[in-house]
Amino acid sequence: MHIVVCTKHTPDSEAKMSVDEAGNVSWGESPLIINPWDEYAVEEALLLREKYGGTVTVISMGPEEALEALKHAIAMGCDEAIRIWEESCADSDTLATSYVLARAIEKMGDVDLVLFGKSAIDAETWQTGPAVARRLGYPSLMYTIKIAELDPDGRTITVERLLEEGRQVVSAPLPAVVGTTKGINEPRYTSFIGIRKAARMEYPLWTLADIGAEADKVGAAGSAVRWPQIFMPPVREGEAEIIEGETVAETARILVEKLLAEKVI
Amino acid sequence: MSNDIFVWVEQFSGHPTAASWEAAGLARRLADELGSDVTACVFGGQGIEPLAQEAISYGADRVLLAEDATLADFRVEPQAALLAKVVREAEPAVVLIGATFRGRELGPALAVELDTGCIADCTALEFEDGQLVATRPIYAGKLLSRCVIPERRPQIFTTRVRAFPKPEPDSSRSGEVTRVEPVLAEDEIPSKVTGFKETKGGVSLTDAAIIVSGGRGVGGPEGYEPLRELAQVLGAALGASRAAVDAGWIPYEHQVGQTGKTVSPDLYIACGISGAIQHQAGMRTSKVIVAINKDPEAPIFKLAHYGIVNDLFKVVPALTEAFKEKLG
Ligand SMILES: Cc1cc2nc3c(=O)[nH]c(=O)nc-3n(C[C@H](O)[C@H](O)[C@H](O)COP(=O)(O)OP(=O)(O)OC[C@H]3O[C@@H](n4cnc5c(N)ncnc54)[C@H](O)[C@@H]3O)c2cc1C
Ligand SMILES: Nc1ncnc2c1ncn2[C@@H]1O[C@H](COP(=O)(O)O)[C@@H](O)[C@H]1O
């Protein structure tokens, strides 16, 4: 089995985000980490490798900071990590990003499964996985909460995936793209040995030429979406109105009156 | 190229989702501003024909109806292939899709198919100097971004559930229904749906108008009982914090927050939830937030509109009684 996990780096989820007047986004002193959702994809890849053997390759299209995500994945136990980047990849939307990732996966040639996290906690588009699946022509199995069956020889996979109404059970041929979600597993911590391995690893850098990507399909040139403005949402002023009656029953009645007046019931 | 607006109508077992009609209402508003038409795409299994009329009552001028077994259970491949085909033929300016699990998978697949852009999870969509400008939350709602698709067409947008009002259906509206055939035959579709496990426990979180949510303060799985009773009286869905989900008190499907569901109900009642930033990420856009917590210093009181500082096991049953009295 050759499993590829796509991952990216994001600011920590605790980060206090801000935007300056020029529109530059900052996350203060907070560290860059692996996109937390991707830890589920990495963990699932490792579990599958433990069961069926093979290799797990993590890839990221991104500048040097993307190494944070790749290193974390290696420290968790992945075998190989590849970064794909050129300056011209900057300002990619998911149309362009999915093109680059799909080209890189095609270049590897022998891939059985491509795993994604549900979304990235920065731009939260949820789009990269389904877009890569479409580009590769692989079945798209998003929001998977359980890999129910995998048959590497029969080349099929069966997953349970979340929809609003419940879990859809879907079977598909390999190679396939699986989007993972929380609940599929409990991601492991990085080990001391893993962290040392990650620190010593070589992280090959693939250029656009390496993956045979056309320049006009990447970065801003290859993107359809522009985001001219990022801003802070208006903050809610003040504190909650604390409701206090003589008794709990009275407190409850006062609150109910107020909610009825708000017309939210 | 036309100025028409397409909207994808999603259904589960023949039942349309509220997100579809929210998107249809938005499509109507945009088409009225442009002086153009709304086409609803209703693709499903046998027996979904009534949805065509329903789509018209929610604002469509025209319905493209595909009724075929390959489209009964949602799979992105046949839906995207057919949607891409009808969009190529009609060349609309905009395609709107509700940002449900299905819509979130379909939008980007369609964008790749048509080599255009998809802006995900919009919470507002307005014309500015003739250009459609979408607003969407990023970094768990800590920031907002304005996005545009300046050149390519169609512009695809997925609309965050409950961010746009669901219009009142008008059954006197009339429109034209055209039948279309699927593009992919069953043997051309790689994935097969072999089963479905429906979630028990009533109202779905993302659609819910009211959510009663419990955190570590409920103390254990049985601590959800009083919350369930309140939820039942209000017709509300049951939510939870990650602390409660991680403790195994309630399934993950109920988790609200950055690593759970993003919800935007009219009323969110947080019981025994401290209000960590990751929890807020999933619920801060709720219209009215009520916090019930023993600790007056809990951060949730900074976000909530109303607060009760007391033991939730006293307050929640009292609230249930008070609502019962009022709502009969
Ligand atoms: C990457 C990451 C992602 C995360 N994603 C999420 C997410 O999606 N959703 C989420 O919820 N959290 C998430 N968290 C966790 C989050 O940081 C908090 O740990 C979690 O929300 C705390 O849950 P809680 O409020 O139930 O528990 P606590 O913070 O322990 O709060 C319990 C509250 O209950 C009150 N209480 C106790 N007993 C009673 C009583 N009898 N009556 C009234 N009040 C009482 C206490 O005063 C306290 O305020 C995430 C964290 C990380 C690092
Ligand atoms: N540049 C990238 N390189 C590798 N993986 C990515 C990249 N961008 C997004 N992803 C992955 O795609 C998934 C969905 O992300 P998004 O579409 O940004 O919400 C997550 O698992 C991301 O880590």
The domain segmentation of chain B, as residue ranges, is 5-188, 210-327
Q: State in Å: Cα B223 to ligand 1 middle.
A: 15
What three-state secondary structure class fits B234?
A: helix
Pairing mode, if any, of strands B38-44 and B5-9? parallel
Which helix (H) or strand (E) element contains residue B112?
A: helix B101-114
- Indicate whether B320 pLDDT > 70: yes
Residue reference for tokens 């500048």: A63
* Amino acid identity at A96: A
Which helix (H) or strand (E) element contains residue B144?
A: strand B143-148
Q: Cβ–Cβ of A265/B190 closer than 8 Å?
A: no
* Amino acid identity at A143: Y
Chain A nearest CA to B291, separation (Å):
8
Q: Cβ–Cβ of B193/A169 closer than 8 Å?
A: yes
d(CA A4, CA A115): 6
The average pLDDT across B168-172 equals 96
Q: State in Å: Cα B277 to ligand 1 middle.
A: 9
- Indicate whether B200 pLDDT > 70: no
Q: What is the pLDDT of residue A122?
A: 93
The average pLDDT across B298-325 equals 96
Architecture field, domain A2-231: 3-Layer(aba) Sandwich (3.40)
Q: Do residues A128 and A190 make contact, with C-beta atoms less than 8 angstroms apart?
A: no
Q: Do residues A212 and A103 make contact, with C-beta atoms less than 8 angstroms apart?
A: yes
Q: State in Å: Cα B250 to ligand 2 middle.
A: 29
Q: List, in order, residues 6 or more apart from A250 with CB less than 8 Å away.
A: none
Buried b (16+ CB within 10 A) or exposed e, A1-31: bbbbbbbbbbbebebebebeeeeebebeeee
What three-state secondary structure class fits B94?
A: strand
Residue reference for tokens 């549900």: A118
The average pLDDT across B300-315 equals 96
Helices (H), B128-252: 225-234, 242-246
Q: Which residue in A has a C-alpha nearest to residue B268's C-alpha?
A: A264
Q: Find the largest Cα–Cα distance for chain B.
A: 62
Q: Do residues B2 and B90 make contact, with C-beta atoms less than 8 angstroms apart?
A: yes
- Indicate whether B308 pLDDT > 90: yes
d(CA B120, CA B262): 14
Beta strands (DSSP E) in B68-109 are: 94-98
What three-state secondary structure class fits B75?
A: coil
**DSSP for residue B131:** E
Taking the CA of residue B243 as reference, the ligand 1 atom at the shortest distance is 23
Q: List, in order, residues 6 or more apart from B105 with CB less than 8 Å away.
A: A130, A140, A142, A143, B76
Interface probe, candidates A99, A140, A178, A257, chain B, greatest B C-beta count within 10 A? A140
Rounded to 10 deg, the angle between the A128-136 and A94-108 helix axes is 50
Taking the CA of residue B260 as reference, the ligand 1 atom at the shortest distance is 8
> What residue owns the CA closest to ligand 1's atom 18?
B276
- Indicate whether B279 pLDDT > 90: yes
The average pLDDT across A133-153 equals 97
Pairing mode, if any, of strands A55-61 and A156-163? unpaired
Q: Do residues B237 and B292 make contact, with C-beta atoms less than 8 angstroms apart?
A: no
Do the two domains B5-188 and B210-327 of this chain adopt the same fold? Answer: yes
Residue B5: both structure tokens together? 């607006």
Residue B193: both structure tokens together? 């749906």
From residue A63, give the alpha-carbon distance in Å to each of A205, B37, B210, B262.
10, 44, 43, 30
CA nearest neighbour of B71 among B91, B87, B55, B51 = B51
- Indicate whether A237 pLDDT > 70: no
> What residue owns the CA closest to ligand 2's atom 7?
A8
Interface probe, candidates A8, A141, A168, A250, chain B, greatest B C-beta count within 10 A? A168
Chain A window 39-58: which residues touch B at a Cβ cutoff of 8 Å? none
Q: In degrees rounded to 5, what are phi and psi of residue B173?
A: -65, 150
Q: What is the pLDDT of residue B66?
A: 98
A89 lines ligand 2 (CB under 6 A): no
Contacts of A101 in chain B (CB under 8 A): none
Work out the mean pLDDT of chain A and round it to a whole number.
95
**Residue B141 — left, alpha, or beta (φ > 0 → left; ψ -120 to 50 → alpha)?**
left
Chain B nearest CA to A14, separation (Å):
7
Q: What is the pLDDT of residue A10?
A: 96
A156 touches chain B (CB under 8 A): no
Q: State in Å: Cα A128 to ligand 2 middle.
A: 5
Helices (H), A53-207: 67-76, 94-108, 128-136, 192-200
Q: List, in order, residues 6 or more apart from B324 with CB less than 8 Å away.
A: B233
- Indicate whether A238 pLDDT > 70: no
B316 lines ligand 1 (CB under 6 A): no
A242 touches chain B (CB under 8 A): yes
Q: What percent of chain A has pLDDT over 90?
A: 91
Q: Which fold has domain B5-188?
A: Rossmann fold (3.40.50)
Q: What percent of chain B has pLDDT over 90?
A: 91
d(CA B308, CA B318): 12
Q: Find the largest Cα–Cα distance for chain A.
A: 74
The average pLDDT across A95-112 equals 97
Rg (CA), chain B: 21
Q: What is the pLDDT of residue B204?
A: 79
Q: Cβ–Cβ of B302/A239 closer than 8 Å?
A: yes
- Indicate whether B202 pLDDT > 80: no
Residue reference for tokens 């048509």: B114
Torsion, Cα of B285, B290, B293, B299 (10° steps): 30
Residue B133: both structure tokens together? 């400008």
d(CA A99, CA A132): 7
Q: State in Å: Cα A122 to ligand 1 middle.
A: 22
ipTM field: 0.90
Residue A170: both structure tokens together? 């879907």
Chain B window 77-106: which residues touch A at a Cβ cutoff of 8 Å? 77, 80, 100-102, 104-106
- Indicate whether B55 pLDDT > 80: yes
B257 lines ligand 1 (CB under 6 A): yes
Q: What's the length of chain B?
A: 328
The average pLDDT across B74-82 equals 98
> What residue owns the CA closest to ligand 2's atom 4?
A60
d(CA A79, CA A61): 18
Select the CATH number that applies to the domain covering B210-327 from these four: 3.30.70.3420, 3.40.50.1220, 3.40.50.300, 3.30.230.70: 3.40.50.1220
The domain limits of chain A are 2-231
Give the confidence band of B259 by pLDDT, cuts at 50, 70, 90.
confident
Interface probe, candidates A8, A9, A13, chain B, greatest B C-beta count within 10 A? A13
Instruction: Note the pLDDT tens digit of each residue in B9-52.
Output: 999 999 999 999 999 999 999 999 999 999 999 999 999 999 99
> What residue owns the CA closest to ligand 2's atom 8?
A8
Instruction: Note the pLDDT tens digit of each residue in A202-211.
Output: 999 999 999 9
Q: Do residues B268 and B289 make contact, with C-beta atoms less than 8 angstroms apart?
A: yes
